[in-house]
């Protein structure tokens, strides 16, 4: 192949690629999950289960068997920055605070303090989970995506017991507490699917992320929900949320934790909003001379809908003009 022939083929390929660029950009207008920012607030009922105590001993308390912790309302909030076609930066925060007072039906020893049978004791569990993360969409189509999410869970959990009444007529002041803090990574699949042909008013979403810590313990979190769009930028969701399941085995002198925060999401994402990209308006002109003079692509700013960004893509492709008839 001659050098001139190679240059011609390279030039043709470049021109065709440039000509197709506006059409590729225009495909974003058909993406039902087309957004730059998504902010979600999830309200849900959590039902905690588990225990806190020393490994291999009776020095523990069970949140359900000893205190009958019931369901309570809490929330999680999440920010999704969709900064590139298949890339997301995520930040989520989930507080879980619950307490319950009950009369003990057995003697409990916790953190060196003994709480006798018949004593009225208040138990509290405070857990705060802060999760920066990253998501990569392995498969992304107009009707949804299947991706891989990696989170770094900064989990801070405090369990405490304190006397809440009198014992044998004497007011008690005994209390004990322990705080567990650990940065726990988790990784797993995440998906969203819009089953309707040309509408994002109905969606199915879910995720599962977890990590095993090689005999020390494990951590996992998951959710599944159905979303119904109320407006273009507002939707509600309902489903199931396993906020976190933490299991730390501990040692003979360190606290062991097995705590699950999971429950229903009857109304979720009530504050969800997506700032979407505006549909591109593509203008192409072809003069009678047979020459394509340009292509202009105008789109809205993804952050401020009041602003617009204009991108001009210019190219010239000369076409042979039709020969005039001599008859």
What is the per-residue pLDDT for 75?
A: 84
Q: Over the chain, what is the mean pLDDT? A: 75
121 or 14: which carries more pLDDT confidence? 121
- CA nearest neighbour of 175 among 122, 117, 116, 125: 122
pLDDT > 80? residue 34:
yes
pLDDT > 90? residue 195:
yes
What is the per-residue pLDDT for 8?
A: 58
pLDDT > 60? residue 5:
no
What is the per-residue pLDDT for 315?
A: 36
**Band of pLDDT at residue 261, cut at 50, 70 and 90:** confident
265 or 174: which carries more pLDDT confidence? 174
Q: What percent of the chain has pLDDT over 90?
A: 27
Tell me if residue 30 falls in helix, strand or coil: helix
Among the ranges given (103-117, 155-169, 198-212), the one the predictor scored with the smallest mean pLDDT: 155-169
Please give the structure tokens belonging to residue 295. Answer: 């292509």
The residue to which tokens 């009776």 are assigned: 58
pLDDT > 90? residue 187:
yes
What is the per-residue pLDDT for 76?
A: 87
Among the ranges given (112-116, 166-170, 283-287, 316-320), the one the predictor scored with the smallest mean pLDDT: 316-320
Tell me if residue 18 falls in helix, strand or coil: helix
pLDDT digits (tens, 9 = 90+) for 86-133: 999 999 998 988 889 999 998 888 888 888 888 889 999 998 999 999
pTM: 0.70
Q: Given CA atoms 196, 197, 200, 205 in this order, what sign does their dihedral have? A: positive
Taking the alpha carbons at both ends of the chain, their separation in whole angstroms is 42
Contacts of 122 (CB under 8 A, 6+ apart): 99, 100, 101, 161, 162, 163, 164
Q: What is the CATH number of domain 35-275?
A: 2.40.128.90
pLDDT > 70? residue 40:
yes
Q: Which helix (H) or strand (E) holds 153?
A: strand 144-163
What is the per-residue pLDDT for 55?
A: 61
Domain range annotation of the chain? 14-27+279-318, 35-275
Q: How many C-beta neighbours within 10 Å does residue 85 have?
A: 9
Average pLDDT over residues 20-26: 41
What is the per-residue pLDDT for 242?
A: 87
CA dist., res. 141 & res. 134, Å (int): 19
- CA nearest neighbour of 69 among 55, 48, 89: 48
pLDDT > 80? residue 175:
yes
Please give the structure tokens belonging to residue 228. Answer: 């119904």
pLDDT > 70? residue 73:
yes
52 or 264: which carries more pLDDT confidence? 52
What is the per-residue pLDDT for 131?
A: 94
Q: How far is CA 7 from CA 14, 15, 154, in A?
A: 10, 12, 56
Longest dimension (CA), the chain: 122
């Amino acid at each position: 192949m001659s050098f001139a022939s190679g240059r011609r083929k390279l030039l043709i390929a470049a021109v065709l690629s440039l000509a197709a660029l506006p059409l590729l950009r225009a495909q974003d207008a058909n993406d039902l999950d087309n957004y730059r920012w998504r902010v979600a607030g999830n309200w849900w009922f959590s039902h905690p289960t588990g225990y806190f105590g020393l490994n291999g001993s009776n020095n523990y308390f069970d949140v359900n068997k000893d205190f009958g912790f019931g369901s309570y309302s809490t929330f999680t909030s999440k920010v999704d920055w969709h900064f590139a076609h298949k890339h997301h930066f995520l930040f989520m925060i989930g507080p879980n605070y619950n307490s319950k007072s009950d009369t003990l039906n057995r003697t409990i020893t916790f953190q060196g303090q003994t709480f006798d049978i018949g004593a009225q004791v208040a138990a509290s569990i405070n857990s705060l989970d802060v999760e920066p993360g990253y998501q990569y969409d392995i498969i992304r189509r107009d009707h949804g995506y299947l991706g891989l999410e990696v989170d770094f869970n900064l989990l801070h959990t405090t369990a405490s017991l304190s006397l809440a009444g009198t014992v044998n007529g004497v007011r008690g002041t005994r209390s004990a507490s322990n705080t567990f803090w650990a940065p726990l990574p988790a990784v797993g699949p995440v998906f969203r699917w819009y089953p309707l042909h040309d509408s994002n008013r109905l969606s199915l979403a879910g995720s599962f992320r977890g990590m095993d810590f090689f005999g020390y313990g494990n951590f996992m979190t998951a959710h599944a929900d159905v979303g119904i769009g109320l407006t273009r930028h507002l939707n509600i969701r309902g489903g199931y949320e396993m906020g976190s399941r933490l299991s730390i085995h501990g040692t003979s002198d360190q606290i062991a934790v097995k705590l699950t925060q999971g429950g229903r999401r009857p109304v979720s994402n009530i504050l969800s909003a997506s700032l979407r990209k505006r549909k591109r308006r593509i203008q192409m002109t072809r003069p009678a001379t047979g020459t394509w003079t340009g292509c202009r692509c105008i789109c809205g700013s993804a952050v401020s809908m009041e602003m617009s960004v204009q991108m001009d893509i210019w190219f010239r492709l000369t076409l042979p003009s039709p020969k005039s008839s001599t008859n």
